[in-house]
Chains A and B, each alone.
Chain A
């Protein structure tokens, strides 16, 4: 049965898509903006730029001083931030309803008139901040660069998902004020943006307020590129070995998956849940509880829109076990699953956990707004938040098996193996 969160949608004359979802339970409104640009749109030599640009959106615009966006909204009880991902960039704040107009005014100023304020000094400062973000989250973390290796191994050079959103230090260094201007003109336009209001606001008031603050932003329609061609599964295994000072061996076993919001992607994600995404999944039962060769096993699927998605299994190898043996056991389970498909218990567990996860996510007004923007921008229909679970429940065990047999084959894997360098230390 579909969920019944209310969803109202309108497109302004300048092309801005507006979604309003009233929820009177709390006297707050969430403003959630998705712009159709992410790291998948970056060019060679400019990786990390979409994210660096996102930082600059907080450094002032035509009528707003550097840092004022954060300061002004937090001082009114606003909670806000922004994130960049492969497929999009988003900006969001949750404010008391009395501050909704201020939030829209601030957002409209930077989404319409950022370039009036961009200068070399704030580009240099935020470049330094982003480099520290990269060091903190990737370079100074054990296994911190593993996912960057995963993207590069699974997707070919030049592919939109071959590089990470954080980019490289060299490319960050190369970014210029002129790049900022060009990027803004190319991607930040009403027809490439979705604005969602979720909370204590009526649809009529919401549409009128967005029109008032965003209506004057001039349309700048550009041909937006279509999704790139679909990628088939890898035909031969890819392998990257890293020997580093990490506490234990860790395997990342990654696969290409079908495009997000297709039946086949749902089926592949349920297959990964049954294999490694649950406490009762096969790899956890066998490697963690029974054979005790792994400290933990997890599986994740990330839906993307550009012709392919990503799935991966992460196994922390017990120090008494051999990583190659553990990998062989994982491959054996993949083979078996592709032959037999999921059990009833696995289907039940995967669907029940997906249900709780989805309902918990929508329980928060902030995350509900984010989901509405997501479906509006990337899939053209925000009401899909209400039918997501129904689509998942419609997947049959046979489809799950078929997806595993196509996408989760041992020969279609890319393995990023982190090995401890304890041994080399001991003999040195």
Chain B
């Protein structure tokens, strides 16, 4: 037998916390440098943000920004693609470049002692790529294969259909960031060269350096590594703006995948970005209460009560400008109709408000996980880079979390109703022969069946 149980302990409240503030400087060639000292973090995280707008891509060459990003380290003035990969890897470095609606970002992580080498290679990648014809062809082919991979994956397939239906068809945001088979098929090396020349330069760029910077003279190392980067032809990016929503009442797109053992469900509505005038602070709390844990409103029913799913998440997803509220996950095929009915009911019912217990748990979760969520160099660097892309102040997290402590039911309900109007874009990826009739029977709105 075990001894008498120890009584349930009380919890001591946590102390105050603030997101770190960087040392800030500007290089002679115009790069804003934010350096975050995070002691004990021996791998340095570097994030280069070059403001860019996807609306600056030529209309029949969509995806050129992403392809340019992917080709930066595939051959430079001094090194072939093979050589460059070897130089990076011998320096313990990893580099990735990508494009969002507000920027081209180059992310690199490297052990501290290799930081100077890494910044030198970073400059070569952004300033001196030569886009060898063979590498361009290869990266374009690999994008075409990636499109097929995404088509084969239910969550990716659903996401593509959500953006296509959420935003007006004239909006760049309604089409894939990295391009379609038609736009990628039309791309040439010259398009990539021209895009790089016009849109990738140091003016307006931000460089984040985070990690254990003891004994590192960041200003000097950055000047040495990136000071020679220049691009006189660099055109200032068109500022990001929120995409125009497609609008209209609830409609359902059913992507037909015969034989699916599960249906992937997505319910989406246009939502805020983090600079929303009414304040961002209610939204992370709402994500948590509605769909952020196994005991959140969605999974309390669909997972823990019904056993329809491994888990469904609801979250507000900010872009640089504009955003969306998306609830997504997969359910057992024969539970599709009931799961969809319950989801709409749960999401719409939340417009009536939230209990004190839910609000307390949601606020405490978001506020008190912050020190841990931003404990590592890469997490600090990622958030600093996001703040830069979104044009938010450096104390944004600290100020938002401070306001969040005081959100009440009235603010949460207003914030939720600003987004959730009862009009949904619903995408189901599943077997139409099995689920179509039932979904139509729910009477949520018109159902359109499209091939996978």
Contacts and interface: CB of A to CB of B under 8 A. Distances in A.
A176 interface: no
Interface stretch (B40-48, B229-237, B347-355, B409-417): B40-48
A77 B364 contact: yes
Interface stretch (B78-86, B172-180, B241-249, B432-440): B78-86
Contact of B110 (A212, A217, A356): A356
A188 B5 CA distance: 18
Contacts of B81: 289
A62 interface: yes
Interface in A210-251: 212-213, 215-218, 245-248
B111 A67 contact: no
Contacts of A360: 43, 109, 378
Q: Which of A25, A101, A359, A360 has the most CB of B within 10 A?
A: A360
Interface stretch (B144-152, B184-192, B392-400): B144-152
Interface string A281-303: 00011001100100110000000
A102 B5 CA distance: 13
B6 A112 contact: no
A128 B307 contact: yes
Contacts of B331: 132
Contact of A136 (B151, B310, B360, B372): B310
A356 B93 contact: yes
A100 to B, nearest CB: 9
A387 interface: no
A422 to B, nearest CB: 10
Contact of A28 (B92, B365, B371): B371
A365 B82 contact: no
Nearest to A284: B85
B8 A105 contact: yes
A141 interface: yes
B378 A132 contact: no
Given A28-B375, A70-B293, A365-B372, 16 more contacts: A23-B40, A25-B40, A71-B295, A79-B372, A99-B12, A105-B8, A124-B307, A129-B307, A132-B307, A139-B262, A140-B262, A213-B6, A248-B145, A292-B134, A363-B376, A365-B375
Interface of A: 23, 25-28, 58, 62-63, 66-67, 70-71, 74-79, 94, 96-99, 101-102, 105, 108-109, 112-113, 124-133, 135-137, 139-142, 212-213, 215-218, 245-248, 278-280, 284-285, 288-289, 292, 295-296, 316, 318-319, 345, 348-349, 352-353, 355-356, 359-360, 363-366
7 contacts: A96-B14, A102-B9, A128-B332, A140-B154, A141-B153, A292-B138, A355-B92
Closest 8 CB pairs of A and B: A77-B368, A128-B307, A98-B12, A352-B92, A101-B9, A349-B89, A216-B3, A75-B361
